[in-house]
Amino acid sequence: MAMKINFKGTNIELTPEIKNFAEQKLRSMDRLVSDSKDEPYIQLEIGRTTNRHKHGEVFRAEVNFHLSGYYFRAEAVADDLFSVIDQVRSELQREIDTGRKKREAIFRRSSRRLKNLIRSATSWPPFRRR
């Protein structure tokens, strides 16, 4: 399943080199979402925070990731354009892993409650074995 990536440049011109680097980094996320039914959609905004500053953390990247009804968002700021793309990818991967663990925990918790409910119902006097 192909992943759609939408690029947006803010206060910066997106060269093919930048797009290829970002696409390569984000395409590697495909293995994390291989079990989804819908096509993943990524909106990537890369840019400079201001036009005036020349040094320091002047580059920023923001990723909005839509997948099967779930929405993940990551932001990063750095002094190098390529390192900000790496940082935002790491943040997005952490967000996806956290969401997956949260869904698994909710499923286990509800399963545990159901199991305890069944156990308590079988110990109720009309269902007790004699």
111: which 2 tokens? 């399963």
Q: Give the chain's length.
A: 130
Say if residues 48 and 59 touch (Cβ distance below 8 Å): yes
Say if residues 11 and 47 touch (Cβ distance below 8 Å): yes
Q: What's the pLDDT score for residue 113? A: 86
Q: What's the pLDDT score for residue 125? A: 65
Q: What is the pTM of this model?
A: 0.74
Model pLDDT for residues 26-51, shown as the tens digit of each residue: 888 777 666 667 788 899 999 988 77
Q: What's the pLDDT score for residue 90? A: 92
Model pLDDT for residues 41-97, shown as the tens digit of each residue: 899 999 988 776 666 668 999 999 988 788 899 999 998 899 999 999 999 999 888
Q: What's the pLDDT score for residue 74? A: 94
Domains annotated for the chain, with CATH where assigned, are 4-123 (3.30.160.100)
- Region of 35 (left: φ > 0; alpha: ψ -120 to 50; beta: rest) is alpha
- Mean per-residue pLDDT for 99-125? 81
Which residue did the predictor score with more confidence, 18 or 2?
A: 18
Q: What's the pLDDT score for residue 16? A: 93
* C-alpha span between 27 and 128 (Å, rounded): 57
CA dihedral (82, 86, 87, 89) in degrees, to 10, reads 130
Q: Counting beta carbons within 10 angstroms of the beta carbon of residue 54, is it exposed (0 to 12), middle (13 to 18) or buried (19 or more)?
A: exposed
